[in-house]
Structure 1
Amino acid sequence: MKKLLLLALAGTFVVSAVSAQAPEDKSKRPSPPATAMETIHGGVHVQIDYSQPSVKGRTLWGGLVPYGQVWRTGANEATVFTISAPVTIEGKTLAAGTYDLFTIPTDGDWTVIFNSETKLPNGKPTWGAYTYHQDKDVLRVTVPAGKSASFTERMTFTVGKDGKVSLMWGDKQVDFHVAKA
């Protein structure tokens, strides 16, 4: 009986160890991953990697997403913004590279934040805004938030060839402009 119990316990351990090592299928998350990318005028490649939360009937602005606080601008891992060359964003210079993108929503203007800390000390991507450090901000711009032309259930980023980046979720749309420096 002891051998049978020991064998069952060992089998459970092996199954647990194997399943713990299996890579997670991120597409099965409630907020699946998405990418918006475009090569804008001047040949600059812009890419945004993010997770798409859904409204699901919730109050977003000032509710699920509090006003006046740093927001990860998506779900799961922090949203990542990558540019292949130096650019200006709303007229302010940003060096080529990869940044975590955060926002501070308000009922009017939003602050869009480009932060240089894209990895945790263990090398994994930053998660949400839980490890956000303001001293790692390399650029902040303020842009107006407007009402979107149509309701967007899943948070979505778009990048236009003209460099217009749009964030749409629920009834809001927030745009900022990227141009080759």
Structure 2
Amino acid sequence: MKNTRIFNFLMLLLAMVITTTAIAQDAKPKASPPATATGKVGDATVTVNYSSPSVKGRTIWGELVPYGQVWRSGANEATTVTFDKAVMVEGKPLAAGTYSFYTIPAEDKWTVIFNKTAKQWGTQYDEKQDALRVTVTPRKAPTMNERLKYDVTSEGLLLSWEDMAVPVKITTAKK
């Protein structure tokens, strides 16, 4: 009986070691980890939730992210932007809420899209659900960004990746 208890204890201990090792192996970092950017634009709080891919030596603009095609502006699930108050985006009104965020990159002008379907995989874009489309001008980033990054500044939203920065002007909506 004593041998059976010791045997059972050793088997339980062995099972725990194997399980812990298996879980630890699955815990490697994601290729495009989740990230969040939050800030104030006027009295509105703006929050961006996205997955942040890396350059990894690739040419991003015009190759990995083709010009003239809708891009999910991140990786994995759709990037979302949440406004707790109504705002003006590039001078156009947008109601408070959470939107999926897409873009159509081009060399000289980008189309920025706020889509009403927030909870979706990034490649399930439906143009009929667009709440707002605006045009913005990209610029050369002051530094190289290995990872896609969003910043919320007092002037709006800034997408930065590789050698590109894409500002989106946001102001608090007039009442």
User: Which of the five TM-score ranges fits, normalised by the shorter chain?
Assistant: 0.7 to 0.9
Q: Note the C-alpha offset of 1:35.
A: 0.4
- The match for 2:172 is 180
Larger radius of gyration: 2
**For residues 149 and 111 of structure 2, what CA distance do their matches in structure 1 show?**
18
Q: Note the C-alpha offset of 1:46.
A: 0.3
2:47 pairs with 1:55? no
**For residues 97 and 35 of structure 2, what CA distance do their matches in structure 1 show?**
19
2:128 pairs with 1:127? no
- 2:91 is matched by which residue type in structure 1? G
- 1:37 is matched by which residue type in structure 2? T
1:169 maps to which of 161, 164, 172: 161
- 2:114 is matched by which residue type in structure 1? F
Q: Deviations over 1:43-71 (max 9, x none)?
A: 21100000100000001011000100000
Q: Note the C-alpha offset of 1:27.
A: 8.5
Q: Secondary structure at the match of 1:28?
A: coil
- The match for 2:144 is 151
- The match for 1:32 is 33
Q: Note the C-alpha offset of 1:128.
A: 1.5
Seen in structure 2, the aligned counterparts of structure 1 residues 27 and 178 have a Cα distance that, compared at 3 Å, is farther
2:109 pairs with 1:109? yes
**For residues 53 and 34 of structure 2, what CA distance do their matches in structure 1 show?**
9
Instruction: Calculate the TM-score normalised by the size of structure 1.
Output: 0.79
| Contact 1:99-1:115 within 8 A present in 2 as well | yes
Q: Note the C-alpha offset of 1:164.
A: 2.3
- 2:94 is matched by which residue type in structure 1? L
Aligned residues: 149
Seen in structure 2, the aligned counterparts of structure 1 residues 26 and 100 have a Cα distance that, compared at 3 Å, is farther
- The match for 1:78 is 78
Unpaired stretches in structure 1, ≥5 consecutive residues: 1-21, 120-125
Seen in structure 2, the aligned counterparts of structure 1 residues 127 and 107 have a Cα distance that, compared at 3 Å, is same
RMSD after superposition: 1.6
Which contiguous aligned blocks of 4+ residues in structure 1 show a shift greater than 4 angstroms? none
Q: Note the C-alpha offset of 1:26.
A: 9.2
Unpaired stretches in structure 2, ≥5 consecutive residues: 1-22
1:139 maps to which of 119, 132, 136: 132
Q: Deviations over 1:36-95 (max 9, x none)?
A: 001221x21100000100000001011000100000001010000000010000000000
**For residues 159 and 138 of structure 2, what CA distance do their matches in structure 1 show?**
10
